[in-house]
């Protein structure tokens, strides 16, 4: 298993991985090749893929705003789960964020994502109960589709 920095050349395999995961939310603009390329240019060292025999079996988009890191689209291929790949990728991203002086990391997990929520709890992340999450859509064309 090779854990390494994600590049735009990984897009086709990463996108195929996303599309293989039931319940995964894909945004029409942000998760396009152009959107991911923009994200990776802004955050060139913090996103990660897990590769086995030349095939990407896990991925995390990770970036920061100079103050707080954020993980997006954390996933491992269903046939490769329970082998420590997710945790290894999270550790990789957190080390990359530390090198850039980031001291806190957050993520959003859908409430109905039982597997994901169990994973975050298992590896020691804290579910916040003391705040509300708000967002505002600037581009109505950037819709989320959930993989069936």
pLDDT of 143 higher than 80:
no
CB 92 within 8 A of CB 49: no
- Does residue 1 carry a pLDDT above 80? yes
pLDDT in tens, 120-133: 899 999 998 998 88
pLDDT at 110: 85
**pLDDT number for residue 112:** 85
Band the pLDDT of 9: cuts 50, 70, 90: very high
Rounded to whole angstroms, the Cα distance separating 86 from 75 reads 7
**What is the H or E stretch that residue 80 is in?**
none
Report the mean per-residue pLDDT for the chain: 93
Backbone phi and psi for residue 88, each to the nearest 5 degrees, phi listed first: -60, -40
Alpha-carbon distance of 24 to 4, in angstroms, equals: 22
The tens digit of pLDDT for each residue in 82-112 reads: 999 999 999 999 999 999 999 999 998 888 8
CA dist 51 and 68 (Å) reads 27
Domains of the chain: 2-146 (3.40.630.30)
């Amino acid at each position: 298993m090779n854990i390494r920095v994600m590049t735009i050349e990984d897009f086709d395999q990463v996108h195929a991985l996303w599309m293989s995961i039931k319940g995964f939310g894909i945004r029409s603009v942000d998760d396009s090749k152009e959107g991911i390329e923009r994200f990776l240019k802004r955050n060139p060292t913090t996103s990660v893929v897990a590769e086995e025999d030349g095939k990407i079996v896990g991925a995390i988009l990770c970036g920061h705003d100079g103050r707080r890191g954020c993980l997006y689209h954390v996933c491992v291929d269903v046939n490769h789960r329970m082998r420590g790949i997710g945790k290894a990728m999270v550790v990789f991203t957190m080390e990359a964020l530390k090198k850039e002086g980031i001291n806190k990391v957050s993520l959003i997990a859908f409430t109905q994502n039982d597997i994901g929520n169990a994973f975050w709890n298992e590896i020691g992340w804290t579910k916040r109960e003391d705040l509300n999450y708000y967002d505002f859509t600037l581009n109505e064309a950037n819709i989320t589709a959930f993989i069936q």
